C-alpha cells in the first residue's frame, strides 16, 4: 500500500484523509487502494506534494490552464492546515457530488475562481444510464438544478435518460451544478467564489474515455460535453503529463536563474511572504513573477527534493 505513493507524502496523506473523514476508493473505504493504476492515488501523487506551496500551486495552475491567475488562496477547513489544494470535496447543495481536487484562485480583477479537477486514469467509457434507478424525488431535484443552470444549455421537459445521465457525463453534470450552487450562494459559503473552471484529467492514451462515442450525441466525450455548455472556456480536458511539464518548466527556470529558487521552499518559510501583491507583482529582469526575501533560505536539498518528485512522476506516470 505504501509503495503506491510517492513516499514523502504517504503519512501526510493518511493523516489528511483521517482528519477530514474522507473515504478511500475501492472495496475497503478505510485504507488506500493497492491498485497501482488507481485514479485517486494518481491524483494525490501528482498534487499532494505541492499543495502547501503557494508559488508552485499558482505556477502549475497557470501553466495547465493557460490563465493568468495572480494568486491562489488557502482553504479554511476543520483541520486548519492551510493547503492551496483540497481533495475529495463534497457539498450538500448539489445532490451526491464530489470533486477529486479543488483550487481557489484570484484573477487580476480580484474575482475568485474555483478550479475543479475530475481525475481519470484507466477508467473505461461507460454506457450506463444513471437515471434508470434514480428515485423520482432525486430526479426532480436534478431537473430543477438543470433548468436553472446558466452553463448547461440543453433543457428538457423530462430529464430521465437524457444526455446528462449518460456515463461520465453524469459526474460532469453534478460537478457543474455544484460549482454553480457555490457561486450562487457565495455569501453563505466558506469558499465565496465568483466563477469556476472545470478540468478533467485524462491521459491521452486512454482512448476508451476520449474516443468512444455516445449514442445520444454520436460524438465523443469532449465534443458531446462542449455541445451541452454555454461557455466552453469554463471546461478543459488535459493529460496528466501537463502537470509534470509544468513542474519541469519551473525547474528549468530555476536552473537558468530566471526565477528565485527560494520560491520552492516549504510553506512554513513562505509564510513570511504571505502578501499576495508580493507574489503577483514583483518581477525580475526576465519578466517572471516571483517572491524574493532575505528571510527565505533555500538549500540544495530543497531543489533536489523537487527534482526527485518530478523524477518520480515521470517514471511512474509517463
pLDDT for 62-112, tens place per residue?
999 999 999 999 987 555 577 999 999 876 555 567 899 999 999 999 999
271 band by pLDDT with thresholds 50, 70 and 90: very low
d(CA 315, CA 318): 6
Express each pLDDT in 277-315 by its tens digit.
Answer: 333 443 333 333 333 333 445 567 788 899 999 999 999
User: Any idea which of 9-18, 130-139, 195-204 has the lowest mean pLDDT?
Assistant: 130-139
pLDDT (0 to 100) of residue 98: 85
pTM of this prediction?
Answer: 0.88
The residues near 55 (Cβ < 8 Å, ≥ 6 apart) are: 263, 264, 270, 279, 290, 291
Strand 195-201 with 71-72, pairing? unpaired
Q: What percent of the chain is modeled with pLDDT above 90?
A: 69
Residue range 19-44: average pLDDT?
91
pLDDT (0 to 100) of residue 80: 58
Strand 71-72 with 97-106, pairing? antiparallel
Amino acid at each position: 500500500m505504501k509503495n503506491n505513493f510517492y513516499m514523502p507524502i504517504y503519512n501526510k496523506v493518511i493523516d489528511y484523509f483521517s482528519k477530514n473523514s474522507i473515504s478511500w476508493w475501492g472495496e475497503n473505504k478505510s485504507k488506500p487502494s493497492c491498485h497501482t493504476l488507481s485514479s485517486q492515488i494518481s491524483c494525490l501523487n501528482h498534487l499532494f506534494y505541492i499543495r502547501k506551496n503557494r508559488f508552485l500551486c499558482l505556477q502549475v495552475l497557470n501553466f495547465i490552464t493557460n490563465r493568468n491567475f495572480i494568486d491562489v488562496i488557502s482553504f479554511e477547513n476543520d483541520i486548519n492546515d492551510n493547503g492551496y489544494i483540497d481533495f475529495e470535496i463534497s457539498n450538500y447543495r448539489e445532490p451526491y457530488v464530489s470533486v477529486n481536487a479543488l483550487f481557489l484562485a484570484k484573477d487580476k480583477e480580484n474575482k475568485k475562481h474555483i478550479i475543479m479537477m475530475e481525475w481519470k486514469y484507466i477508467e473505461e467509457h461507460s454506457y450506463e444510464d444513471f437515471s434508470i434507478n434514480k428515485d423520482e424525488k432525486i430526479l426532480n431535484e436534478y431537473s430543477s438544478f438543470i433548468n436553472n443552470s446558466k452553463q448547461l444549455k440543453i433543457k428538457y421537459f423530462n430529464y430521465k435518460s437524457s444526455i446528462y445521465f449518460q456515463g461520465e457525463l453524469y459526474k460532469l453534470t453534478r460537478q457543474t451544478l455544484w460549482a454553480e450552487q457555490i457561486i450562487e450562494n457565495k455569501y453563505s459559503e466558506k469558499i465565496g467564489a465568483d466563477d469556476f473552471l472545470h478540468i478533467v484529467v485524462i491521459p491521452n492514451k486512454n482512448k476508451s474515455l476520449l474516443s468512444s462515442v455516445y449514442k445520444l450525441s454520436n460524438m465523443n466525450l469532449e465534443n458531446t460535453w462542449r455541445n451541452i455548455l454555454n461557455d466552453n472556456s469554463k471546461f478543459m480536458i488535459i493529460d496528466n503529463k501537463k502537470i509534470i511539464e509544468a513542474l519541469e518548466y519551473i525547474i528549468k527556470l530555476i536552473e537558468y536563474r530566471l526565477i528565485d529558487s527560494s520560491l520552492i521552499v516549504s510553506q512554513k518559510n513562505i509564510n513570511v511572504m504571505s502578501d499576495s501583491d508580493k507574489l503577483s507583482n514583483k518581477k525580475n529582469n526576465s519578466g517572471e513573477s516571483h517572491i524574493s526575501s532575505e528571510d527565505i533560505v533555500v538549500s540544495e536539498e530543497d531543489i533536489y527534493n523537487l527534482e526527485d518528485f518530478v523524477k518520480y512522476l515521470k517514471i511512474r506516470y509517463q
